[in-house]
C-alpha cells in the first residue's frame, strides 16, 4: 500500500496544490522550487457583513397559522408568499488569508523534481536536487511549519495577500523585524468598511548564512536551512501581535527553556514533526483499504492514476486521500464545501457549510471509519449555533426548540439564506439530519453524550409545538413542509408532508424518548418519553405513488419530480435504517423503485454518491457500482486528489473526496445497533481485498477480507449481546461476548 500521492511537476494552479491541515489552519502547497508558495487558510476566515445586511431569521410566526390554512385548503403556492420580503442573502464567504512566498536562486536548477504528500504524517514535500521543502500543519501546536533544506545562495521571504478575487480595497499592512530569534514578518488585513480583520505572523529562522530585511520582507544569504512558522488569527480592531510572536518563539525552545541555536534547527523541526505525527498518524492509520492492486500501478503519480479509471490502485489512493483530507479539515469545525482550503476569495457557494445534503455526506464515514475527531468537529458546529437555532424556531414557527438552517458560514446559525424558489427557512428536518451522526457516534462508542441528549430533547420540544394540524384521516400533518431542494409536480416549493420531514420528525421524537427514558428512572422523564412516542405514532405512513415508488411527498396530488440531484425522500434508507430489505421489504422495494427513477440532473458529485450510498443500503450492488464508476470516469478529481462539484474538474469542492470512503465502507460492511451486514453490495470490479478497522454501531471492530469465492470477517466486540448477521450466504443470529473475537466465514 502507498499512503500518499506524488507528482513530477509543480502545481500550475492552486486547485492542484497538495493539502495539509489540522482542522483549524490549512495549507495549500504548490511546490514551486523557485517561487515556493504556501497558501494559508483558517476555518474562521469569512468575510464580515455589510452594514445593510439583515441576517436575522424572518419574523413570520404570526402568519404561520394562516399559511397552514391556505396550504391545507389547496393553495399550492401559498408558501411562496411566506417571506419577509428581503432579497436572497447568501452566507458570508470563506476566503484564504495569504500565501507565504520564498523566492530563491538555487544552486541546482537541473536536478530531478518531485512533489508529494504523505497521508500518514500530513507532510507535503517538494524536492529538486538537494533542495527540499517540507510543510505540515501541526495538530499538537496549531502552526503551519515549513522546513527548507538548501534554500540556495539567496532567498526572499514575504507574505503576499494577492490571491484571486482579493478585494481591491482590502486594507493591508506589513512589517518585518530582525530579532535575535529570527525574522518576524506580520501581515495585517482589515476588511473593507469594517473593524474586523485578520493577522498573519510568521517567524523565520535560518541555520547559517546571513539574514536581513528587504522591501519584500526578509532576505537570506547562504543559509543551510530555513524553519518558517506561521499562524493567522481573525480579530476585531487592532491586534496585539507580541503574544503571538512570543508563542512562536516558544515553539523553538520546546520544553528545554534554553535558547535555540540555529544549528539545532534539524532537532527543532524533528521535535515539532514528532509531536504532530503522534496525533495525526494514530487517527489516519485506524482504517485501511487494500484492493490487491498492481504494485506498478500503486507506484504511479496521482495524475497518471486518475487516467486509469478502473484501476484498483486509483480507488485505494482515493480512499486513503479522502480519509486524509477529511481528518485534516476537521477540528474546530467540520469540513466546508471546500474542506479547509481555497485559493480564491470568490469561492463557489461561499465555501460554506451546506446542511441539506453536503455536510452529512462528507462526514458519513466518521463513525465506521473510526474518526471521532470528525464527529467532535461536527458537534462543535452544532453546539456553537444552538442559540441561533432556537431563534429560528421562535421567529419562523413560534415554537420552542431548535430549527437548523440549510446554510451557515460557521459563525451564524440563523436561517436567512432563503428565497421564493428556495424557501430554505421552511426546512424543519435539518436538526435531526445534523444530529444523526452524533447519535451514530454514541451507538458506536456505547455512550450517550449529555449535550446530544439535550439537543434531542429541544428538537422533540419543537415538534411538540409544531405538529398541531391534522389531515382528513386524523393523522398529523407536517405543514409547511419542504424537500430540499425540489418541488412537487402539482405543488409549490413549500408543500405538505415531505417524506424527509416525516422521517425526521419520527426519528427525532423516538430518539429523544429513548435518550430521555434511558437517562434515569424519573417519572417526569418517563412521561416525556411516552408523550413523544405517542406523537410519533400519530404521524402518517409513507406513500407509494402510482409508479410503485416511495413518494417524495406523502400528500395526495403532490407528484414526484424525478430528475433531481437530491434524494431527501430516501432519508429513511440512508443514513437512517428505518426502511431496509430485512425488516421492511415492501417499503425497501418502493425505495429502490424511487432510486431507479431518480435522474442525476446536473451531474453533481454529491448526487451520484448519495445515490450510491442508498443503493448500497438496498443491496443494489450494480447501481452503487455504476454511480461510483460515473464519479471515477467523470474527471471529478484534481491532481491534488481533492474533488470538484461537477465533471471536467469544474468547481473545487470536497463532496466526492470526503464521501467516497463512506461509500466503499457501505458497499462492504454495514451495521446498526443490532445488525451486521457483510458484503451487502460488493463491487465486482474489485473482486478481492481487505478492509481493516471498521467500527460498528453494536460496539465492535471488523476486519474483512474477501475474494471471489469466500470471505473472512474478524469481529472484535467490546459489548456483549446478540446481533442479526447478514451475509451473502444468508441470515443467522450471532451472540457476541465482550473481549472474545469471532471469525466469520461462509
CA distance 548 to 541: 15
Rg (CA), the chain: 27
Q: Which three cell numbers stand for residue 352?
A: 460554506
Residue given cell 490571491 in the structure block: 163
CA distance 312 to 682: 14
Residue 38's alpha-carbon distances to 138, 143, 247, in angstroms, are 15, 13, 21
CA distance 385 to 436: 16
CA distance 201 to 149: 22
- For the chain, residues with pLDDT lower than 50 are 259
Q: Which three cell numbers stand for residue 142?
A: 496549531
Residue 29 burial (CB < 10 Å; 0-12/13-18/19+)?
A: buried
CA distance 75 to 491: 9
Residue 745: CB atoms within 10 A of its CB come to 10
- Residue-level pLDDT at 216: 86
CA distance 487 to 631: 26
Non-local CB neighbours of 662 within 8 Å, separated by 6+ positions = 361, 364, 365, 368, 369, 613
- Residue-level pLDDT at 519: 54
Residue 53 in 3-state DSSP?
A: coil
CA distance 19 to 620: 35
Q: Which three cell numbers stand for residue 509?
A: 421524537
Nearest residue to 573 via CA among 584, 562, 558: 584
- Residue-level pLDDT at 560: 94
CATH 1.10.760.10 fits 4-43+96-285, yes or no: no
Residue 617: CB atoms within 10 A of its CB come to 28
- Residue-level pLDDT at 491: 87
Q: What are phi and psi of 599, to 5 degrees?
A: -85, 180
- Residue-level pLDDT at 255: 65
Give me the percent of the chain exceeding a pLDDT of 90. Answer: 87
Residue 6: CB atoms within 10 A of its CB come to 19
Using an 8 Å Cβ cutoff, are 635 and 647 in contact? Answer: yes
Residue given cell 486509483 in the structure block: 314
Nearest residue to 514 via CA among 435, 427, 579, 569: 435
Residue given cell 440531484 in the structure block: 565
Non-local CB neighbours of 142 within 8 Å, separated by 6+ positions = 22, 24, 25, 231
DSSP states along 266-301:
HHHHHHHHHHHHHHHHHHHTT-EEE----HHHHTS-
- Residue-level pLDDT at 699: 97
Residue 277 in 3-state DSSP?
A: helix
Using an 8 Å Cβ cutoff, are 641 and 321 in contact? Answer: yes
Nearest residue to 577 via CA among 533, 552, 613, 606: 613
State the distance between the two ends of the chain, measured CA to CA, in whole angstroms. Answer: 27
Question: What angle in degrees, to the nearest 10, is found between the helix axes of 372-383 and 430-445?
Answer: 140
CA distance 413 to 386: 7
CA distance 331 to 441: 16
Taking only the tens place, the pLDDT of each residue in 126-147 is: 999 888 999 999 999 999 999 9
Q: Which three cell numbers stand for residue 301?
A: 503519480
Using an 8 Å Cβ cutoff, are 589 and 595 in contact? Answer: no
Burial state string for 419-445 with b = 16 or more CB within 10 A and e = fewer than 16: eeebbbbbbbbbbbbbbbbbbbbbbbb
Beta-strand pair 182-190/171-179: antiparallel
Nearest residue to 504 via CA among 404, 585, 411: 404
- Residue-level pLDDT at 154: 92
- Residue-level pLDDT at 326: 98
Using an 8 Å Cβ cutoff, are 702 and 367 in contact? Answer: no
CA distance 135 to 734: 48
Taking only the tens place, the pLDDT of each residue in 378-423 is: 999 999 999 999 999 999 999 999 999 999 999 999 999 998 888 9
Taking only the tens place, the pLDDT of each residue in 332-389 is: 999 999 999 999 999 999 999 999 999 999 999 999 999 999 999 999 999 999 999 9
Nearest residue to 42 via CA among 338, 341, 248, 337: 341
Q: What are phi and psi of 2, to 5 degrees?
A: -115, 115
Amino acid at each position: 500500500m502507498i499512503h500518499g500521492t506524488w507528482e513530477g511537476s509543480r502545481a500550475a494552479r492552486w486547485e492542484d496544490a497538495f493539502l495539509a491541515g489540522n482542522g483549524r489552519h490549512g495549507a495549500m502547497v504548490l511546490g514551486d522550487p523557485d517561487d515556493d508558495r504556501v497558501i494559508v487558510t483558517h476555518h474562521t476566515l469569512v468575510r464580515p457583513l455589510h452594514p445593510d445586511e439583515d441576517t436575522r431569521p424572518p419574523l413570520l410566526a404570526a402568519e404561520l397559522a394562516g399559511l397552514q390554512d391556505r396550504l391545507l385548503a389547496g393553495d399550492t403556492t401559498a408558501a411562496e408568499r411566506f417571506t419577509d420580503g428581503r432579497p436572497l442573502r447568501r452566507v458570508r464567504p470563506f476566503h484564504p488569508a495569504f500565501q507565504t512566498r520564498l523566492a530563491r536562486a538555487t544552486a541546482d536548477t537541473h536536478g530531478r523534481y518531485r512533489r508529494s504528500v504523505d497521508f500518514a504524517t500530513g507532510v507535503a514535500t517538494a524536492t529538486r536536487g538537494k533542495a527540499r521543502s517540507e510543510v505540515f500543519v501541526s495538530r499538537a501546536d496549531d502552526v503551519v511549519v515549513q522546513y527548507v533544506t538548501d534554500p540556495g545562495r539567496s532567498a526572499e521571504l514575504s507574505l503576499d495577500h494577492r490571491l484571486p478575487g482579493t478585494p481591491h480595497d482590502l486594507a493591508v499592512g506589513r512589517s518585518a523585524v530582525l530579532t535575535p530569534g529570527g525574522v518576524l514578518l506580520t501581515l495585517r488585513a482589515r476588511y473593507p468598511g469594517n473593524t474586523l480583520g485578520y493577522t498573519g505572523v510568521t517567524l523565520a529562522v535560518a541555520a547559517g548564512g546571513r539574514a536581513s530585511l528587504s522591501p519584500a520582507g526578509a532576505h537570506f544569504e547562504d543559509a543551510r536551512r530555513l524553519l518558517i512558522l506561521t499562524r493567522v488569527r481573525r480579530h476585531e480592531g487592532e491586534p496585539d501581535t507580541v503574544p503571538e510572536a512570543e508563542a512562536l518563539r516558544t515553539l523553538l525552545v520546546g520544553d528545554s527553556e534554553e535558547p535555540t541555536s540555529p544549528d539545532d534547527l534539524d532537532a527543532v523541526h524533528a521535535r515539532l514533526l514528532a509531536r504532530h505525527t503522534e496525533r495525526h498518524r494514530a487517527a489516519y492509520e485506524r482504517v485501511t483499504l487494500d484492493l490487491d492492486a498492481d504494485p506498478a500501478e500503486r507506484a504511479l503519480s496521482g495524475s497518471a492514476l486518475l487516467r486509469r479509471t478502473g484501476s484498483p490502485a486509483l480507488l485505494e489512493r482515493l480512499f486513503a486521500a479522502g480519509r486524509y483530507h477529511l481528518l485534516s479539515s476537521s477540528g474546530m469545525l467540520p469540513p466546508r464545501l471546500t474542506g479547509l482550503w481555497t485559493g480564491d476569495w470568490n469561492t463557489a457557494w461561499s465555501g460554506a457549510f451546506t446542511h441539506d445534503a453536503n455536510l452529512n455526506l462528507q462526514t458519513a464515514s466518521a463513525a465506521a471509519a473510526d474518526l471521532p475527531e470528525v464527529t467532535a468537529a461536527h458537534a462543535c458546529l452544532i453546539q456553537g449555533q444552538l442559540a441561533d437555532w432556537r431563534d429560528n424556531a421562535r421567529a419562523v414557527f413560534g415554537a420552542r426548540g431548535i430549527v437548523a438552517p440549510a446554510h451557515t458560514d460557521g459563525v451564524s446559525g440563523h436561517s436567512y439564506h432563503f428565497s421564493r424558489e428556495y424557501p430554505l427557512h421552511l426546512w424543519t428536518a435539518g436538526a435531526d439530519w445534523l444530529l444523526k451522526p452524533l447519535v451514530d457516534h454514541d451507538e458506536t462508542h456505547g455512550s450517550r453524550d449529555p449535550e446530544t441528549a439535550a439537543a434531542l430533547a429541544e428538537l422533540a420540544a419543537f415538534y411538540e409545538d409544531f405538529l398541531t394540524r391534522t389531515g382528513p384521516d386524523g393523522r398529523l400533518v407536517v405543514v409547511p413542509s419542504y424537500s430540499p431542494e425540489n418541488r412537487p409536480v402539482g405543488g409549490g416549493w413549500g408543500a405538505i408532508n415531505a417524506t424527509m420531514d416525516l422521517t425526521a420528525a419520527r426519528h427525532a421524537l423516538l430518539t429523544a424518548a429513548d435518550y430521555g427514558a434511558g437517562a434515569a428512572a424519573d417519572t417526569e422523564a418517563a412521561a416525556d418519553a411516552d408523550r413523544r412516542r405517542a406523537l410519533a405514532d400519530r404521524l402518517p405512513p409513507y406513500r407509494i405513488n402510482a409508479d410503485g415508488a416511495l413518494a417524495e411527498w406523502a400528500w395526495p396530488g403532490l407528484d414526484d419530480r424525478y430528475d433531481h440531484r437530491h434524494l431527501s425522500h430516501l432519508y429513511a434508507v440512508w443514513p437512517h435504517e428505518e426502511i431496509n430489505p430485512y425488516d421492511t421489504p415492501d417499503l425497501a422495494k418502493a425505495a429502490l423503485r424511487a432510486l431507479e427513477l431518480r435522474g442525476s440532473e446536473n451531474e453533481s458529485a454529491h448526487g451520484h454518491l448519495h445515490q450510491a450510498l442508498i443503493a448500497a443500503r438496498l443491496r443494489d450492488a450494480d447501481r452503487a457500482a455504476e454511480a461510483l464508476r460515473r464519479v471515477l470516469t467523470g474527471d471529478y478529481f484534481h491532481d491534488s486528489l481533492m474533488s470538484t462539484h461537477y465533471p471536467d474538474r469544474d468547481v473545487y469542492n470536497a463532496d466526492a473526496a470526503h464521501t467516497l470512503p463512506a461509500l466503499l465502507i457501505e458497499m462492504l460492511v454495514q451495521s446498526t445497533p443490532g445488525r451486521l451486514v457483510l458484503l451487502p453490495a460488493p463491487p465486482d470490479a474489485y473482486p478481492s481485498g481487505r478492509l481493516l478497522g471498521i467500527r460498528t454501531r453494536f460496539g465492535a471492530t471488523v476486519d474483512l477480507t474477501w475474494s471471489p469465492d469466500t470471505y473472512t470477517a474478524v469481529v472484535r466486540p467490546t459489548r456483549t449481546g446478540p446481533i442479526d448477521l447478514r451475509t451473502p450466504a444468508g441470515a443467522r443470529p450471532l451472540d457476541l461476548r465482550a473481549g472474545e473475537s469471532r471469525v466469520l466465514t461462509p
